[in-house]
Amino acid sequence: MSRLHNLVNNDELKRRMETSDEERITLSFYQYHQIEDPAQFRDQLYKSWSKLNVYGRIYVAHEGINGQISVPASELETFKEKMYSIPFLEGIRLNIAVDDDGKSFYKLKIKVRKKIVADGLDDSSFDVTKRGKHLDAVSYNELADQEDTIIVDMRNHYESEVGYFDGAIRPDVETFREALPLVEDMLEDKKDNNIIMYCTGGIRCEKASAYYLHKGFENVFMVDGGIIEYARQCEEQGLPNKFLGKNFVFDERMGERIGEEIIAKCHQCGEPCDTHVNCANDACHILFIQCENCASQYESCCSNKCKEFNELPEEQREKLKGTIEFNGTKFGKGRYKAFRKDEGLILK
């Protein structure tokens, strides 16, 4: 019987990925579909895809599947055959990463969840199949230019901080669950306008568009395939790219370059930068933006406090874990910002 979980240490798996020269392709997909037994389906996928050395993170629920993975280039066609042999996944679009070094994932994780995206909605209270209209890149560019069009970023604040569609409303939220009611309130008096929503690959907008139609919004649209597919179509068709900066992604890459602009700043020195990292102090691990100079100065940590903690012997660090408050225990993702002293804020 095939094992249904990883047995190798995470550090070793990361080392193997970083030193491997194997060509891998990063892609994402989702499909809403009623799955009767998610646990059994999860095991079926794990047995099949682990044999192909597929890495990534997949969520399975009664409502469907949501996945971000990397596949060896040599196994891509075999993977597609196996995926498309599953009736409800036959022919679904695979969003291929735009800026990919093949180092996006280092192991395969397939988890059973209550929902494939945490939205906090009661799906029985509205028709989740009545969704907004999909826009390809050409249609998006045309509609975005119309005066009565409102563009809404359905992602989290730390995603939109490094990149967004020109002119978009960007809610200051940490979760999709928070964004839904906030956007509804913001647009309460705009229910007759054209509302275009977008997210990374499209999945959040599928549910959000149905919810807003239920709430009385008349003209709801969404970017088909999200930022990833929009960027691909723009490049393929030579279209004007209305996305500024970088697309945040939830894998080891942390982002992929879409527009050439750098619209964010290093959270430590304030210089232009859009590189997301996690603090090297595992007891903190906060997500923040750090430039190369600050990474060198603070040894990839978010503060002097974390740098000094990391310099302690491992045995001492283990004893102190849980007794010291770091930025990662005080702030949410991307909330910590320590700018230059000459701007009036002192590095912590």
Active site residue 199: yes
Distance CA 259, CA 257 (A): 6
DSSP label at 115? -
- Tell me the C-alpha to C-alpha distance, in Å, between residue 224 and each of 43, 88, 214, 229, 231: 30, 19, 20, 7, 11
The residues with which 278 forms a beta bridge, in sequence order, are 287
Decide: 116 and 64 in contact? Cβ < 8 Å.
yes
Decide: 150 and 195 in contact? Cβ < 8 Å.
yes
DSSP label at 132? P
- The CA radius of gyration of the chain, in Å to the nearest whole number, is 21
Of 199, 205, 284, 306, the catalytic one is 199
At 74, give phi and psi (nearest 5°): -70, -20
Note the Cα 259 to chain centre separation in Å: 17
The token pair that represents 119 in the structure block: 């939205």
- Tell me the C-alpha to C-alpha distance, in Å, between residue 216 and each of 147, 188, 192, 328: 21, 9, 9, 40
Decide: 223 and 198 in contact? Cβ < 8 Å.
yes
At 317, give phi and psi (nearest 5°): -60, -40
Q: Which positions are catalytic? A: 199
